[in-house]
Structure 1
Amino acid sequence: MLTRTDLRGRVPSPVELRATLPRAEVDVDAVLHQVRPVVDAVRERGVEAVLEFAERFDRVRPASVRVPAEELARALDELAPAVREALEETIARARRVHADQRRVDVTTQVVPGGTVTERWTPVARVGLYAPGGLAVYPSSVVMNVVPAQEAGVESLVVCSPPQAEHGGRPHPTILAACALLGVTEVWAVGGAQAVALLAHGGVDTDGAELAPVDMVTGPGNIYVTGAKRLLRGLIGIDSEAGPTEIAVLADETADPVHVAADLVSQAEHDPLAASVLVTTSEALADAVDAELERQVAATKHAERVRTALTGRQSGCVLVSTVDDGVRVVDAYAAEHLEIQTRDARAVAGRVRAAGAIFVGPYAPVSLGDYCAGSNHVLPTGGCARHSSGLSVQTFLRGIHVVEYTAEALAEVAPKVVALAEAEDLPAHGQAVTARFGASRAGTEGGA
């Protein structure tokens, strides 16, 4: 089922690997001509444009953008007990992990009388996007809200598409997750128009203000990504998320049933989802293919899964050694990487590029999707080579606070002047020497 690439006996350079390895082709630029009119319309006409787009794209026109508080409470009251218990456990584990990520302010004494403090300040207001297309993602609500709350963000709004079958409100499970997390502001808006409304703000149908945000995070479809690209700068964004990815690095010790199940689990997200096996064992590759045929036929979303697994974004890569496999997965830089080899922990320690690494046979990616405590909003499309997943740090800004006494400034003044003159910016040096004129030298201890 998986297309094979045989790299045994050779491992190309990183540049060649990036061109060789399977990858979903997602051209955000190709949809910008469709996204730009949506963004412009929301900027110019606000909520009226948003509601028109909801009728067009979501087949429903919500009575208002903001979901009333009583509807959040009702969704939580009506949530199935088993789902509520699972969400509560997910929230508790995510809080435990993300609470330990909070940075502390650090003051460095550069010289006597001269200090630089790095102060960490949360973004004031953020918009968090929860998709609502092929599946419902209350887990994405948790993964976005928890780090924002742990960072100390004081104002946040969750956006999720209106659902025709739910009276123009987001899916009730999304609303229930918001209520469990203490989120009081939820907007029934999806797609590019959601990002545009978050960026520009507006006035709801009842006259209430929909305040703009400083940052938007959360995964979405290509149109959401396109709006993020167009509005970046006016707002901060976490990343331009693409289709989900899993790579499994395995040797002959891996269980083909486990490997196949994990590849299927991510393929059911989207027909463009990528499932990649990198292995030293041709026998394992054969066994996984056989298992995929069996498991895909039995799974609920068989057509979607088969499309993903047989697409050019998925495949099996044969390598000679685990070390070669590490080079391959580093070049691929998967959103999710599983290590199912001997000494899996040691192998994982050699990996340099992945959104998240799942070590050994009992840490499947689906655990991370829900209840590991880690965050599942992760870089895709090879961006794990240079970017991290969503965390508390996403919502924090480091601000350098500089304090120098007159004596400390006077001591370094000649060096500032020398550098200013070297750069032909004499006023920079004069801004320092002006503080030490003859009339002030006696009172400020200057020279």
Structure 2
Amino acid sequence: MIKFLLQGLLRDKSRSHLPIMVVAVGVMLSVFMHAYITGIMNDTIEMNAAFSYGHVKVLTKGYADNMSQFPNDMALDNTDVLVANLKKQLPNIEWVERIQFGGLIDVPNDKGETVAQGPVIGIGIDLFGKETTETKRLRIHESMVEGRMPSKPSEILVSNDFAKKLGIQMGNTVTLMASTMYGGMAYQNFVVVGTVSFGVQVLDRGTIIADIQDVRDALDMDNASGEILGFFSQGYYSDKEADKAKSIFYAQQDNVSIQDEFTPILLTFREQGDMGTFVDLSHSMGAIITFVFIIAMSIVLWNAGLLGGIRRYGEFGVRLAMGETKHHVFASLLYESFFVGIIGSIIGTAFGLLFAWLLQEYGLDMSDEMKGSSMMMPTVLKARITMADYYIGFIPGIFSTLLGAALAGIGIYKRKTSQLFKELEA
């Protein structure tokens, strides 16, 4: 029977071409959109992780309670020992030290008189380490607008918009005014050697990037860091890996007291800010896309099935008149739709993966459209092909064809045997 139905579909192209084309287009869009949304969601997660949250983060309890204020008076101390222990406990995670701080930048003229001032958010990272991956992780080279990378102590980068606003030129000396780790006032001169633009308003509004050792010297934070960020070796965030790292971290902590504000704690990415909601949304997008395309394709295929049913009205009548049961006719219709769904899903998945691969490799530059965005998102949108993309298209492809055929085939049961010969004679 299966061979007979396949031969019928191949010989009668009007029965298969339109449904297969509809299924192929729908599946192609399903696969492409799933890869596209997955790519955007994951890139957004990774960008937020790279700049602020890490895949996991170690910090003190006191710092975590007021994280948005960068309370460096609650910073981690003796971080060389702490980082060494973390590398021993969790060797599959790359650990980097960071210091985030707020302050005021003073721009003097040749006489040392203030000509402009502006608030900044500073990020202290490892710029000069031999094995540092921080500049690559933050995509600093790609974000350079003017000047060069810092090559020696006391050289910094500032956001391009901030530099224009204050009239800062390359080579200008500026003064940072901030609070030290112990609550005193800090004054430190830096030389601006480059400007950067990340395409995100929160970063471009007023950010400076300096080597972490320069920040330690300025803020009196010897062998201290505000945060220690961890990044998974596979390069992307995973709830499973984060929970595993958290379990190992606390299992090896001795005499942990949640009352001590300086006790190191570990937070996963989803436990910081509103990132938990974003991670959950990224996980549910596949189901949402699949459901939408199942409904849309079912409606289209239902209408296509109704048109096909009208064209095949006489065929069904002959088959019923010859003694074939209504159940058998209906079942054969479902079998046909199943094969149509399989063929269309294979074609659609192939084309969907092709277009997703092109977007994954080359990306879509949206930097001009996203300029000034308040949300931290990548300016080059890329898809990401996952294992789910190889099979997710078959769900709407097969289910929608079966649903459409079932809805269209209900009319078979309304045919009355007593009228069949009258219809045939007419």
TM-score by length of 2: 0.24
More helix by share: 2
Structure number with bigger Rg: 2
With a CA cutoff of 8 Å and minimum separation of 6, indicate the structure with the bigger relative contact order. Answer: 2
TM-score by length of 1: 0.23
